[in-house]
Amino acid sequence: MCRIGAIKSKNYIHPSKALHLMRSQQKGHDNSGFAMVMQDLGGRFANYKELPILSMACTDEGVKIAEDILHEAGFSRVMQWSPEINEQAGLKIEPMPNYVFQVLHYPKSYKYAPAHEKEELLVDIRLQIREALEQTNDGYVYSFWPDVLTLKEIGDPTDIGTYFNLWQPDEDFTAKIITAQCRQNTNYDIVRYAAHPFFLEGYTALANGENTFYEKNKNFQKNLYKGYIGFESDSQCFLYTLHYIHKILKWPLQYYKHTITPLAYDDAEKREDHAILQNIRAVLGNLELNGPNTIIAVLPDGTMFNTCDAKKLRPVVIGHTADTAVISSEVTGLNEILPERDWTQDIYTNEREMVVINNNLEVERWQQ
């Protein structure tokens, strides 16, 4: 079983919060890894909001490979930070030699480039680095995007926290949004790329469950956009569908729900917007989701939401205070890090809703 969690706050928070959120649910997962995506960064990254940050784990050769590609493309380094490693005997972790978080300047030629050109460049470069690293087996690149950090590792989450010194709160390493998961992919091979959360162009998704439409989803997605690759985990499909609906097709967010869990024909028929719903179902039937799943996702503007499949569901609960909202597989996670919240306001997402948390920390329930 998988356990997932996400924290969105008005204040900057340290990843130790995410570790506490996840460790309280450790009986429910298999403690085989830890992965997190931090967005809207504070601390030492707070002043570089507009600049892309490369997150990778690699060998020394891997660092060189990536730097050569970046250099070639005209990127220049602004700042680099690596977590302080705390090597202790007996830690269950399979560390990589280097963990690199590098802030870069765009190439000069991109000074006046429109946003989408810069975005495409970042995707292209990341894919190029990924391919080069894969060829020589020199490491992993997780994200290359402004204001985003990704860390993934195989091992016991508690030990991974110790290894990277993440249990110790540190004001210089914070973010307003942290999504996390404590398990490596156990259905298929254990590969770092298979660990949730998945990230693409400002979109993050992590899920609990099984994507029984994996083959259908994958067959359709692999031709839709160059960034839809890997598929090491069947849950990557959820991210790609979100990205496709929201970023490429530019449809409003509620149509993500209509795509992944369309209403039954009879129910859709009764609605005013039935023509739209029928059409979406017709054209994107290959992106439907059969469950059982619960999905947490973050949009580029910081909006966070949760939704489930339409018939089997996976446990999830959302709790919030005035300045922090937390989504967690189990309520123990909420009790651990938001004990002061009004628990009567907790939301257990149903099969036909999306629970959306905006940047003012307002929690909305959208019914399909």
Partner 1 sequence: MATMKVNQISRDDLDWQIQYNTDRCTFCGKCVAACPFRAIEAGVEKRRKVISDHFTPEPKVQFKTVPVIKQCVGEYNFCRGCGICERVCPNEAIKPVRNEDSRFGVKYRATLADPYKRGGRANLATEKRTLDKIKVGRISQMTDPSLDASRHTFDMLAPFGRILPADEMPFDVVDGKLVMNSATPKVNWIYPIIVGDMSIGALSWRMWEAMAIAVAYLNEQVGLPVRMCSGEGGVPVRLLKSRYLKYVILQIASGHFGWNRIINAMPHMQELPGGILIKIGQGAKPGDGGLLQAKKVASHISEIRGVPKADLLSPPNHQGLYSIEESVQKMFLSLNSAFKFQVPVAIKVAASATSVSVYNNLLRDPYNIVGGFFVDGLAGGTGAANEISLDHTGHPIVSKLRDCYNAAVHQGKQGQIPLWAAGGLGANWNLAADAFKMMALGANGVFTGKLMLQIAGCVGNDHGKCNACNTGLCPVGICTQNPTLVKRLDIDKTAEQIVNYFIATDNELKKMLAPIGNSSLPVGRSDCLISVDRAVADRLNIQYSC
* Site for partner 1, rule CB under 8 A: 1, 209-210, 212-216, 219-220, 222-224, 244, 248-252, 254-255, 264-265, 273, 275-276, 278-280, 282-286, 288, 290-292, 311-312
For residue 220, what are its two tokens?
Answer: 């359709």
User: What is the C-alpha separation between 285 and 281, in angstroms, rounded?
Assistant: 5
| Cβ proximity to partner 1, 102 vs 241, nearer residue | 241
| Cβ proximity to partner 1, 48 vs 225, nearer residue | 225
User: What is the C-alpha separation between 334 and 170, in angstroms, rounded?
Assistant: 22
- Residue pair 278/264 in contact (Cβ under 8 Å)? The answer is no
For residue 356, what are its two tokens?
Answer: 């959306």
Q: How far is the CB of 154 from partner 1 (least distance, A)?
A: 22
Q: How far is the CB of 252 from partner 1 (least distance, A)?
A: 5
SS3 320: strand
Q: How far is the CB of 275 from partner 1 (least distance, A)?
A: 6
Question: What secondary structure letter does DSSP report for 138?
Answer: -
| Cβ proximity to partner 1, 292 vs 302, nearer residue | 292
End-to-end CA distance of the chain: 28
- Residue pair 144/120 in contact (Cβ under 8 Å)? The answer is no
Q: How far is the CB of 168 from partner 1 (least distance, A)?
A: 36
Q: How far is the CB of 356 from partner 1 (least distance, A)?
A: 12
Question: What secondary structure letter does DSSP report for 255?
Answer: H
Q: How far is the CB of 244 from partner 1 (least distance, A)?
A: 8
The CA-CA-CA angle for residues 176, 177, 181, to 5°, reads: 145
| Cβ proximity to partner 1, 164 vs 240, nearer residue | 240
Q: How far is the CB of 188 from partner 1 (least distance, A)?
A: 13
What is the residue-wise DSSP string for 149-193? EEEEEEB-HHHHHHHTT-SS--TTS-EEEEEEE-----SS---GG
Of residues 304, 90, 325, the one with CA closest to residue 204: 304
Crossing angle between the packed helical segments 115-136 and 60-73, to the nearest 10 degrees:
150
For residue 296, what are its two tokens?
Answer: 């947490």
| Cβ proximity to partner 1, 143 vs 259, nearer residue | 259
Q: How far is the CB of 217 from partner 1 (least distance, A)?
A: 10
Q: Taking the CB of residue 292, how many other CB atoms lie within 10 A of it?
A: 16
| Cβ proximity to partner 1, 174 vs 293, nearer residue | 293
| Cβ proximity to partner 1, 149 vs 277, nearer residue | 277
Q: Strands of 182-234 (E only): list them.
A: 198-200, 203-209
| Cβ proximity to partner 1, 147 vs 353, nearer residue | 353
